[in-house]
Structures are given as structure tokens and as C-alpha cells.
Structure 1
């Protein structure tokens, strides 16, 4: 089963310094039929003005992943971490028993664009932790590259961020006309998000820029790029 969610159907908010599109219920947006997909709880597509950001605020019992699309993100938290992340980097924070953090646009001149995702952890009571990892952006061409994973064999130290959930996040940049294949074991889900460009699935479903799909009971997915500069994110979920 493949459910398409067009970009224009997302809830949008504009605070001047922050423009966001929500793929799931978040903040003032509440839809009892759109609370989560498996353990995936939040996907916010954020634009943050230069020199602005989120001040210190708390979280508990959530795995938070940030993919920076353009610009530089400045992170600080209550357990002593401070780091900047740009495209080619992944930020993973396990809120666990409780953590405070701030996230700001590190530039005074350029806007920041990012995807922030929340996932329910495999268990509560984890010790709060934070990491940044780097991936080779050139390796994304015509390949699904794991950038976050709960599999310790996939999450090699310093290369793939380790998340406390049975899931893997892949990024890819297929050239126009290239087809990528993802095998989905029985009982698992896939969340697909088109960051840029366009993708056609094997059943003919077309996803354009910022469209998403929630996929279940499809043992093999064929993803064909329909535009130059396509960039996709695929999340394998329990």
C-alpha cells in the first residue's frame, strides 16, 4: 500500500524568522489521524532566518535527527555539546531522561534550511546523548546511502549516526532516469520524502519536490528519478 502526501497538503506556519511545514501533528497543528507513522513522530521542513533560532528548551524520551539542507546549524545543549552542522553532516540527539538544547542559524547573512525529525525510542530512560557525523555527499549519486541507523553493524563509528530505534535513514541523489531499488522485509514500513526533483515509483505514483509517501506491504520498491538534481530521503521503519 502506497499513500501519497503532496507537499501543498502539509500544515504551514510562518513566524517571520521561522517558516515551517509539518508532515505530522505538531505544536498548534493537531490531526488525530496524523500523529505518527510507526515510531516516526515528527518531520518539520524548516527555514530559519539569519542570526535567529530556537533558544534553550527541554525534551524527554525522543530521538531527534536533523538533516541540514543548506546553511550552517549551531547546536548547544545542557550536557556540554556545541557543534555546527551543514550539508554532508547529520545531527542526532537522544533526549532520554531529559536534555535542554538550542538550535540557531550560525550565519548572520544566509538563511538555514533543514529537516528535523523525531522518533520514539526503542525504550525509555536512556542517558541523554548527542553526536554529529559526516557522509560523503558524492557517494549519494545513484545510491541509497545510510546516514542514520539503529543497526550497530551499519552505524560505523563516525560515519553513520547511531539511533536508539530499529530503523535506518538513507539519502540518495539519483540522476535523471536512474532507478534505485529498495527491498522491504515483511512487516516493515517505508517513509519516502522527495527533498528535490521528482521520483516515479514502480506502481506509477509520482512524487514531486517535498511530496512524501507512506508505504507498507510493498516487498520491493523501484524509485526512478524524473528530474535532474533529484535528492530523496528513504526511512526504513518497523
Structure 2
């Protein structure tokens, strides 16, 4: 089953110096019709003006992944060194028993980012952070794992860590990206009991009978794989997580 979410239907939260377009309920935005996608509880598109900051916290028992689409972003999480993201970079914070404050500050050209909040399998333990300031240029056509809670995706298990290795999270979930040229496709296969959430960052794609433009998204349930076809050059993000809160 595929359920399409159009960009025009997303929630809106204006908080401090940031504009958030929300796929699921967040802060002042409520929407019983779009509660979550399995253990993916929050997905926000954040837009910061030049040198503006966005703050959150305290937060616990959640994995927060921040993927930068445009601009530059300085990251700060209490107890960890500050870092900096370039376009395509990723910060992952597993809050564990608690992180008192998290902050993201845009550079002089502003910043646009997507932020995913996953329920972790293990809610306890010390907080952790892992950052990839930028990933290597993405090869056309296939899904690449950016973050994962699956041991088999850990490069330490089978090869030396490289700059493009996925970050490790506590949620048994994956976050992936793909750059698909016009007229070509990208395939992803998963297992039963999973929920997939696809976001079109740029371009236009087809998913089954539906066409999705930049900013649109789709929930895919009760399927063990999807094929995304690009109607024009496209960049997409894909989350794979347990379909229900109790399914670990």
C-alpha cells in the first residue's frame, strides 16, 4: 500500500528563526491523519536564514539524524564537540539517557535540511554522536546507506572505515539517499514488517501509479521492495524502519 503526502499538505511550525515543514505532528502542529511512519516519529524540513540558529532539547530516547541539502550548518550537542556540515553531510545523535541541548546554526548563505527522528531499539545508555561533514559524490542510480542500526551495515564488520561509511544509530532502521538520472530507476528491497518513507528532495519521480514532485513523500506499507523511476533528474531520501512501535 502506497500513501502519497503532497508538499502542500505538510504542517507548518515557525519556531525561533526557523521555518519547519512537518510530515508528522511536531510541537504546535497536530494531525491525527499523519501520526508517524512506524518508528519514524518526526520528519521536518527546516529552512534557516543566514546565520540563524535552531535549538532543541532536552531530548532522550530518540535518534536524531540531520541531513543537509543546501548551505552550511554548524552542529552542537551538549557533551560533544561542535562540527560542521556541508551539502549532503549528516549528523546523527543518539540521545540515550538524555542530551540537554542540541543546536544547528546556518552559515552566511542560510541552510535547508531534513531531520529524521527515530525511536531506538535501546532507549538507555550514554548519548553518542557521529558526523559525516560530507559524503563522497553519489553515483547515479542506486540507494546508498547513510545511517543504519543494522550490524551487517557496519563497515567495521567487513572492511576498513572510509569517509563514506554509514553512521551508526540505535534504531534498527536505515536512512538512504539516491541520485536517479531521468529515465532511470533505483530499486530497494527490504523484509516483511517494515515501513518505508520516501521523500523527493529534487526532481520528479514515479512510484507505482503515482508521480511525486520535489517536496512530496510517500509511505509504503506491506511491501518488501520499491522501484523509483525518475521522470527527470531526481534526488530522493528513503527511510526503512519497523512498521509498528512494538516491532523491533
TM superposition score normalised by structure 2: 0.88
- Deviation, structure 1 residue 55: 4.2
Pairing 1:215–2:220 present: yes
Pairing 1:192–2:191 present: no
Pairing 1:105–2:105 present: yes
CA contact (8 A) 2:54 2:105 kept: no
Return the alpha-carbon distance in structure 1 between the equivalents of residues 131 and 151 of structure 2: 16
- Deviation, structure 1 residue 216: 1.0
Pairing 1:30–2:30 present: yes
Gap change, CA 1:16 and 1:187, over 3 Å in 2? closer
Return the alpha-carbon distance in structure 1 between the equivalents of residues 172 and 54 of structure 2: 29
Q: How does 1:65-214 map to 2 (within 5 A)?
A: 65-107=65-107, 109-133=108-132, 134-139=134-139, 141-156=140-155, 157=161, 159-201=165-207, 203-214=208-219
Once the two structures are superposed, what CA deviation does each residue of 1:67-90 show, in whole Å capped at 9, x if it has no partner?
A: 001111112222132101122321
- Deviation, structure 1 residue 15: 5.1
Pairing 1:64–2:68 present: no
What corresponds to 2:238 in structure 1? Answer: 234
Return the alpha-carbon distance in structure 2 between the equivalents of residues 131 and 26 of structure 1: 24
Return the alpha-carbon distance in structure 1 between the equivalents of residues 26 and 45 of structure 2: 12
Once the two structures are superposed, what CA deviation does each residue of 1:84-120 show, in whole Å capped at 9, x if it has no partner?
A: 112232100011111123423342x311110011111
CA contact (8 A) 1:181 1:222 kept: yes
Unaligned segments of structure 1, at least 5 residues = none
- Deviation, structure 1 residue 48: 0.4
TM superposition score normalised by structure 1: 0.92
Return the alpha-carbon distance in structure 2 between the equivalents of residues 104 and 63 of structure 1: 16
- Deviation, structure 1 residue 219: 2.9
Among 211, 225, 231, the alignment partner of 2:230 is 225
Larger deviation, residues 142-151 vs 74-83? 74-83
Return the alpha-carbon distance in structure 2 between the equivalents of residues 224 and 95 of structure 1: 36
Return the alpha-carbon distance in structure 1 between the equivalents of residues 76 and 135 of structure 2: 22
Gap change, CA 1:10 and 1:101, over 3 Å in 2? same
**Cα-Cα RMSD:** 1.7
Aligned length: 234
What corresponds to 2:246 in structure 1? Answer: none
Gap change, CA 1:9 and 1:106, over 3 Å in 2? closer
